[in-house]
Chains A and B, each alone.
Chain A
Amino acid sequence: MNRRHLFAAAAASLALFAATGAHAQQTVKIGLILPMSGPFASTGRQIEGMAKLYMAQHGNMVAGKKIELIVKDDTGTADVTKRIAQELVVNEKVSVLAGFGLTPLALATAPIATQAKVPTIVMAAATSIITEQSPYIVRTGFTLPQVTAPLAEWAPKNGIKKVVTLVSDYGPGHDAEKAFKETFAKGGGQVLAELRVPMANPEFAPFLQRARDAKPDALFVFVPSGVGSAVMKQFAERELAKDGIRLIVTGDVLDDDILNGMGDTALGVVSSHHYSAAHNSPENKALVEAFKKSNNMRPNFHGVGGYDGMHLIYQALKKTNGDADGTKLLEAMKGQSWTSPRGPVSIDPETRDIVQNVFIRKVEKVNGELYNVEFATIEKVKDPVKAAKK
């Protein structure tokens, strides 16, 4: 045995020692990175509240391991998100990264997930391409094409043949516009005009006027959660409904967080989405009640992404018997299926995107408050963009 062999043996035993050391670690840390301040703080509040609620309900011990949640505010700025993710991986040695309120925040972190082999749960950001950026990204929120396509299918069957689309001018908006147009055309519908509103300081009046001039059966709108109130208000003020133009939207516009403040102008608006606080199931009723008690607000679709994200981490840890190795956890996450408060969901093992039911809903008054009441279900919807690529 020469010196080199001795050296190699020493290194190998050291590595083994390090590996067992990591194995014996009794705490599994989850780094939750969210916009907790700034314009997207409501997303952060929802997800943080839900993650903490999940841990309060299910305890912090899984498969003999103690779960520790570390919440960080990235202010919605991409380079900060990336730096925090890096610090969490390097300093805190987190086993899972989670959160991500906006698409660029998730995209900036994708290389870290790949490099460090840390499963990264995207709970809110909804552009289709995110899961393709790293094999370690899993999504428990939704993708915009996933919730848009069912609405475009429903519309032509319900007397809507000509539509003007109105979307916010950024990634998810373009996704929604494309998904709507393609699916709508298949059903024999026709898009008369595609309008894009700037993200900053949107003024909808001129766009609504152009939509009116095109004389469609309906106006399709996607804007990110929060901007929805302005659309609803101006749609009502400009009296497009009087010209026989219906309003159909993605559920982002009628976010449960702000829906009740929109007033009666929202009544009767049809939308499609994967979650409504009014979803009729025992799981959801329990969740809404618990969340109202702990956070004093309704859960919204971002919140439920956070709740299911935590559930997925717990399930995966159970499956690996508490082994928090990144690759093993990731494998354990693929193909998981469970009954979420939003209905039955599963993780597509190929795309790592969530497969879920999408609902067509209508705004109605329930017990004096406005809710999106579901009246039709499209089961097991996959992200159509990735399905089309195959």
Chain B
Amino acid sequence: MFALLSYFRPDTATAAGTLLAPVRWRPLEILFWLVAASLLWLAPSKVLLLNEIAILALFVLSLDLILGYAGIVSLGHGAFLGVGAYAAGLLGKHGFTDPVMGLLIAGAAAGLLGFVTSFLVLRGTDLTKLMVTLGVALILRELANKFGNITGGADGLTGVVMGPVLGLFEFDIFGKTAYGYSLTVLFILFYVARRLVNSPYGLMLRAIKGNSLRTGAMGVPTNHRLVTIYTIAAVYAGIAGALLAQTSQFVSLDVLDFHRSADALLILVLGGSGQLWGAVIGSIAFKIMYDYLAAITPQYWQFWLGLVLVLIVLFGKGGILGFVNSSREWLAHRLGKGAAK
């Protein structure tokens, strides 16, 4: 009973209280999800873009789990996105049209690949990790290209049929079902990730990120922990890929392209890594900037986007979230000083 009470009312004076403080949902967080859901009715003309943002956010979130919390650098995270997309697409093409079932199977397929490749990835230094993850993604892309009779090769996988979500919501041309579906999945997985990173397991990951030699010496099975998080992140990315395939009912080779992995890394840096929300905020900022700039100048939007990114990295340490936090601290500091006078 005592434990339950302290869960709801964390007490920062005790160690347990300090650990529980970030677990509590802040009003701003709840507001965010309410606004995100209400956009389904408030901004019907933007739901297609919002759907893309939700899927991207889930993908970047999965990268944050390994990079932000466990310190595993990856340039090939797109591999899992691709496996999930092709798994879901192929299921839809061959008659298994239930979206939720497809989502789970696609996640499992990506997770399996994540588990197997984690043993390769966890060897060696950061540079080796970059190369190995990059290599795995390249190999998968070439495989998808070579087995054109299964994947559709460079023409892409057509004829993906999707049944209604939970047997109730038919995918419509306005993208309402798509957004509602993607947002729900993102919310559930965000909730799970939030619990995960604030659990003792999550804290241990952060300790491993800080100094893996030392955690090893303390008796933490470092590799075991890293394999687990790598696999979980792969499942997340696979589900993001499955959402992409199911809501667009098409899969092409570019789901395995290098730019997907690179974009995810960029967005994570933009939003701020190691804070979960950074992935979501980064995705929103990136896509809205893209949509806005590309509408003004379809040819040269990349230049402006690049400029903004450079500025953010230069002046906002820790991405957008880091910038917000440091300005808040600065403001509080100034106000505090003013009050003292």
Contacts and interface: CB of A to CB of B under 8 A. Distances in A.
Contacts of A161: none
B307 interface: no
B254 interface: yes
Contact of B254 (A44, A77, A198): A77
Interface string A347-369: 00000000000000000000000
Interface residues of B, number: 32
Contact of A108 (B142, B175, B252): B252
A104 B48 contact: no
A90 B45 contact: yes
Most buried by A among B257, B295, B298, B301: B298
Contacts of A79: 52, 244, 248, 250, 252, 254-255
Contacts of B49: 83, 87
Contacts of B153: 170-171
A78 B145 contact: no
Contacts of A170: 145, 153-155
B249 A111 contact: yes
A36 interface: yes
A55 B45 CA distance: 28
A36 B298 contact: yes
Interface in A104-130: 104, 107-108, 110-112, 115-116, 127, 129
B248 A104 contact: no
A72 B45 contact: no
Interface residues of A, number: 40
B301 A104 contact: no
Nearest to B161: A111
A94 interface: no
Interface in B150-177: 153-156, 158, 173-175
Contact of B158 (A76, A80, A110): A110
B299 interface: yes
Interface string B230-269: 0000000000000010001110111101000000000000
Given A36-B298, A71-B298, A79-B244, A112 B250 contact: no
A87 B48 contact: yes
Interface in B24-81: 45, 48-49, 51-52
Contacts of B154: 103-104, 169-171, 199
Contact of B299 (A36, A76, A103, A169): A36
Interface string A9-52: 00000000000000000000000001011000100110010000
| Majority secondary structure, B binding face | helix
A90 B254 contact: no
A260 interface: no
B155 A171 contact: yes
A167 B86 CA distance: 26
A92 B249 CA distance: 22
A107 B164 CA distance: 22
A324 interface: no
A86 B250 contact: no
Interface of chain A, main secondary structure: helix
B244 A73 contact: no
Given A36-B299, A111-B249, A104 B173 contact: no
A274 interface: no
A89 interface: yes
A91 interface: yes
A73 B155 contact: no
A83 B174 CA distance: 10
Contacts of A78: 156, 248, 250, 252, 254
Contact of A82 (B142, B145, B248, B299): B248
Contacts of B104: none
Given A107-B156, A108-B250, A86 B299 contact: no
Contacts of B252: 77-79, 104, 107-108
B59 to A, nearest CB: 12
A133 interface: yes
Contact of B142 (A80, A91, A198): A198
A107 B158 contact: yes
A372 to B, nearest CB: 26
A86 B249 CA distance: 13
B84 to A, nearest CB: 13
Nearest to A80: B52
16 contacts: A41-B299, A72-B294, A73-B298, A78-B252, A83-B51, A83-B52, A87-B45, A104-B252, A104-B253, A107-B155, A107-B250, A112-B173, A116-B173, A169-B154, A171-B148, A198-B142
Interface of A: 34, 36-37, 41, 44-45, 48, 71-73, 76-80, 82-83, 86-87, 89-91, 103-104, 107-108, 110-112, 115-116, 127, 129, 133, 169-171, 198-200
Interface of B: 45, 48-49, 51-52, 141-142, 145, 148, 153-156, 158, 173-175, 244, 248-250, 252-255, 257, 294-295, 298-299, 301-302
Given A112-B173, A198-B145, 19 more contacts: A36-B299, A37-B301, A72-B298, A73-B301, A78-B248, A83-B49, A83-B248, A87-B45, A90-B45, A90-B175, A91-B45, A104-B154, A104-B155, A104-B254, A107-B156, A107-B250, A111-B250, A169-B145, A170-B153
Leading 8 A-B pairs by shortest Cβ distance: A170-B154, A104-B156, A78-B252, A104-B252, A171-B155, A73-B298, A108-B250, A36-B298
